[in-house]
Amino acid sequence: MPATFFIATIVLYFAGTGFFLAYLLRRSEALSQVSLSVTAVGFLTHTLALLTRMLEAGQVTLASFHEAMSFFSWALVLVFLFVEIRHRIHVLGSFILPLALISLLSAAALPKEVPTLEPVLKTVWVHVTLSMLGTVGFAVAFVAGIMYLIQDGLLKSKRFNVLYSKLPPLDFLDRLNQQSIVMGFPLLTMGIITGAISAEFARGSYLSWNPEQLWALATWLFYFVVLMGRLTVGWRAKRAAYLTIIGFAGVVLTFIGVVLKAHGAVA
Amino acid sequence: MNIIAVGLSHKTAPVEVRERLAVPESRLGEALHRLCGYQGIKEGVLLSTCNRVEVYAVVDDVDAGFARVQEFLADTHLSLSSEQLTPHLYWHTDGRAISHLFRVAASLDSMVVGEPQILGQLKDAFEASLTHKASGVVLNKLLQKTISAAKRVRTETKIAETAVSVSYAAVELAKKIFSNLNEKTVLLVGAGEMAKLAAKHLINNGVQRVMITTRNPQGAIELAQRFNGTSIPFDEFRRAMAEADIVLCSTGASHYLIRAVDVEEAVRRRMNRPIFLIDISVPRNIEPAVKDIDNAFLFDIDDLEMRVEQNREERRREAVKAEGMIEEEVAASLHWLKSLDVTPTIVALRKRAEDIKQAEIDKVMARLGHLSAQERSAIEGLASAIVNKLLHGPLVTLKAEANSSGSSMYVEAAKRFFGLDATQLPPAIPAEPTQVRGAGGGAAPATALKQSDPSGEPEPKRA
């Protein structure tokens, strides 16, 4: 059952991505409704996939990399739908859906079996959920940054094309960027703290100074500086866009490193 | 019964003629009354704006109707003779008249295609006709269809979405940088007309804080009063740029008033919040190098004009779509109009009665089983007698009223009483909605050629 829903979700996100990209490049607004509907149905099957998996396993299935990536993709679409309902910025889907699809595909590529957790790791899902939600914030900031740079470039070069007409105002994107970091950062902080606590229980030390943990801490520090810079010395607009793009690249690299090293094992 | 449209617009008549023909609102009632006083004119709507004066009327006879409406128009202004008027008028009947009305309402015939005022003006004209009882069943329904067709064009195309004036293009660009103009501040440097207009548009779009500076302090104070803003001494305005989200510059100065270093400083003091600069002066007053500064967006008059040209292009593209929609709507209206004719209604009514009768006979025969031929014919005779007697009244009335001024009302009533919807009626004459006729009789060869003119443009009448 979960597998069926999962595959249906991949198909739907794939279609949603296609529609949203077509929407981005075409003058007509007509495709936005199709894209949104497909995405909404995909989100529904995705939710069912996650729930049925938990019901079948009889535990909160948020421990393996597959589970984390699938959850990340789900939360990303959730945030998109939320912003869409509030602001009707359809074009956001053209950037978020591909990202959600990529995460879901990478989840599909990772080992899917439900891991058997040692009793001390029964609550590791708290760490995973918080970290992933924080990462979703950074991902949305990343997307807002990319959209900002595109719109900034179009305005500067006075190319008033279809993309220009569809992208939202610059200050909306800058605000989205800021809010995403403001929400994402504390979540990641709590994710790291709960992770350290889990590690203390599991291995007897909060921090084992391995490269992944160092990378994660470096990422955390980077976003801390980005956030402080914005709030104090005006690192907003273009600079914030660049910084959040670099930051998210760091997050992705960390994740790939961790996955490659652990090869599907529990974090 | 026919629908005609007679009138003139900015496309066919100079302003000297239009202004003399225009009917002020205060005299609309009197004019409508006079219009409907002519024999053969059953219903009328008079649309009078600064760009057009048009009469839409329901008439018994097209040629007589054209003549009456022309008389009416000529009488509207004493100093305007029929001969002076004629060369400027266009004449449309039925499909073409409806199509013209729809195109006018959808702002496809406007000077600035897509401008929104015309629909409101048309609604007012319609209201006036209703108030003065000049319009009846046909025009009322037609005007409703017109309004919904125009709304459809507005919602389904982008014909009215984009800016087609330089001053408005500034607003459109501002909205791509700032999502909410309410909390933004505009700095107006100089008192050029275009900049003032742009400032006005920005204020209309929510901007609440305006700062004004001109070389002549008195000018700034006066402008500040007009825009409900504050005036700033001219030699201090560069510092005020740190507070300004939008800078509108339009002075007669022959050098750069705002240099790149000024903008750099402003952006720095704004902590990188974007600043939008519009230079509407020629020669330019803002140093072009400003465009290379991060978070500063500079647009000059050429940029704005390019934007306007692109928008016009876009409107033209959308207008093509809109024309297609209008065609559909006209076909539907023609179908409805056709159904108002007496003959097809009588046919439909008879058919409906016959169908009911036959169905009931079949039912009762099946239930009664074996009947002699005599019994069968008695039952059939009974059914026919009831149906015919019941229909006698309505049919006689419809025939008698066929040519009266109230015919469409009776037809409409019959259709509602007997549940004859348009789909049961014979189809309307298709593919002939474009028919232009001269006032003086049958179509001459020259006008016949015009009938196949696919441009949809109103043609001035050939006298």
**In this predicted structure, what is the pLDDT of residue A45?**
96
B306–A158: do the CB atoms touch at under 8 Å?
Answer: yes
B272 and B197 in one domain? Answer: yes
Q: How crowded is the C-beta side of B212, counted as CA atoms within 13 Å? A: 26
Q: What is the mean pLDDT of residues A149-172?
A: 92
B263 and B170 in one domain? Answer: yes
B198 and B171 in one domain? Answer: yes
Order of all β-strands in the sheet with B41-48: B41-48, B52-59, B2-9, B90-93
* Domain containing residue A52: 1-112
A53-80 pLDDT, tens digit per residue, is 999 888 888 888 899 999 999 999 999 9
A259 and A128 in one domain? Answer: yes
The last residue of one of the domains, among A63, A81, A112, is A112
A207-260 pLDDT, tens digit per residue, is 777 777 788 888 899 999 999 999 888 898 999 999 999 999 988 988 888 888
Shortest distance between the Cα of B305 and any Cα of chain A, in A, equals 12
B31 and B122 in one domain? Answer: yes
Residue B61: CB atoms within 10 A of its CB come to 13
A133 and A86 in one domain? Answer: no
> Of A164, A170, A233, which is closest to B274 when you measure between CB atoms?
A170
**In this predicted structure, what is the pLDDT of residue A263?**
66
Domain-located, residue B354? yes
Q: What is the mean pLDDT of residues A90-117?
A: 90
User: Which residue of B156, B171, B245, B272 to mutate against A (max A Cβ within 10 Å)?
Assistant: B272
B147 and B7 in one domain? Answer: yes
B179–A156: do the CB atoms touch at under 8 Å?
Answer: no
**Mean pLDDT in chain A?**
89
The last residue of one of the domains, among A112, A145, A171, is A112
Domain-located, residue B325? no
**Closest CA in chain B for residue A234:** B271
Beta carbon pairs, A and B, within 8 Å: 51
Domain total of chain B: 3
Give A167's contacts in chain B (Cβ within 8 Å): 176
B181 and B131 in one domain? Answer: no
Q: Would you place residue A189 in the very low, low, confident or very high pLDDT band (cuts 50, 70, 90)?
A: very high
Give B295's contacts in chain A (Cβ within 8 Å): 237-238
- CA–CA gap between residue A165 and residue B107 (Å, rounded): 23
A143 and A61 in one domain? Answer: no
A124 and A77 in one domain? Answer: no
A236–B175: do the CB atoms touch at under 8 Å?
Answer: no
Give B303's contacts in chain A (Cβ within 8 Å): 158
Instruction: Find the angle CA(B186)-CA(B190)-CA(B193) to the nearest 5 degrees.
Output: 90
- What the block records as the tokens of B142 is 């037609």
Residue A74 phi, psi (nearest 5): -60, -45
B150 and B277 in one domain? Answer: no
B360-397 pLDDT, tens digit per residue, is 998 888 888 888 889 889 988 999 999 999 989 888 88
B377 and B411 in one domain? Answer: yes
The last residue of one of the domains, among A112, A136, A163, is A112
Please give the ipTM for the structure prediction.
0.86
A28 and A127 in one domain? Answer: no
- In sequence order, which residues have a C-beta less than 8 Å from that of residue B321 and are 6 or more positions away? B156, B157
CATH number at residue B256: 3.40.50.720
B185 and B45 in one domain? Answer: no
A235 and A136 in one domain? Answer: yes
B176–A158: do the CB atoms touch at under 8 Å?
Answer: no
> Of B180, B271, B310, which is closest to A234 when you measure between CB atoms?
B271
Give B310's contacts in chain A (Cβ within 8 Å): 160
A98 and A224 in one domain? Answer: no
- The backbone region for A43, taken as left when phi is positive above 0, alpha when psi lies in -120 to 50, beta otherwise, is alpha
The last residue of one of the domains, among B277, B303, B329, is B303
Give B307's contacts in chain A (Cβ within 8 Å): 160
B251 and B231 in one domain? Answer: yes
For every residue of B35-65, DSSP letters joined together read: HHHSTTEEEEEEEE-SSEEEEEEEESSHHHH
pLDDT at A206 > cutoff 80: no
B400 and B259 in one domain? Answer: no
Q: What is the DSSP secondary structure assignment for residue B185, as one 8-state letter?
A: E
> Of A151, A169, A237, which is closest to B272 when you measure between CB atoms?
A237
> Of B175, B273, B299, which is closest to A236 when you measure between CB atoms?
B273
A58 and A24 in one domain? Answer: yes
- CA–CA gap between residue A212 and residue A260 (Å, rounded): 11
B294–A233: do the CB atoms touch at under 8 Å?
Answer: no
B281 and B182 in one domain? Answer: yes
> Of B178, B273, B303, which is closest to A158 when you measure between CB atoms?
B303
pLDDT at A267 > cutoff 70: no
A128 and A83 in one domain? Answer: no
Domain-located, residue B275? yes
A85 and A165 in one domain? Answer: no
- CA–CA gap between residue A77 and residue B437 (Å, rounded): 61
A171–B274: do the CB atoms touch at under 8 Å?
Answer: yes
Catalytic residue chosen out of the listed positions B25, B30, B37, B50: B50
Q: At CB < 8 Å, which residues of chain B contact A?
A: 173, 175-180, 270-274, 291, 294-295, 297, 299, 303, 306-307, 310
Q: Is B50 a catalytic residue?
A: yes
Shortest distance between the Cα of B112 and any Cα of chain A, in A, equals 21
Give B176's contacts in chain A (Cβ within 8 Å): 151, 155, 164, 167, 169-170
- CA–CA gap between residue B277 and residue B248 (Å, rounded): 6
* Domain containing residue B370: 342-424
Domain total of chain A: 2
For every residue of B335-349, DSSP letters joined together read: HHHHHTSHHHHHHHH
A206 and A179 in one domain? Answer: yes
- Averaged pLDDT in 10-residue chunks for chain B of 463 residues: 90 87 86 90 91 91 90 82 87 92 92 84 92 89 92 85 80 91 92 83 90 89 89 90 92 89 93 92 89 93 88 86 91 80 82 90 86 88 91 86 72 83 48 39 37 37 34
Check CB contact of A150 with chain B, cutoff 8 Å. no
> Of B271, B272, B310, which is closest to A160 when you measure between CB atoms?
B310
Domain-located, residue B370? yes
Q: Which of B143, B115, B99, B136 is nearest to B49 (CA)?
A: B115
Shortest distance between the Cα of B307 and any Cα of chain A, in A, equals 8
A147 and A32 in one domain? Answer: no
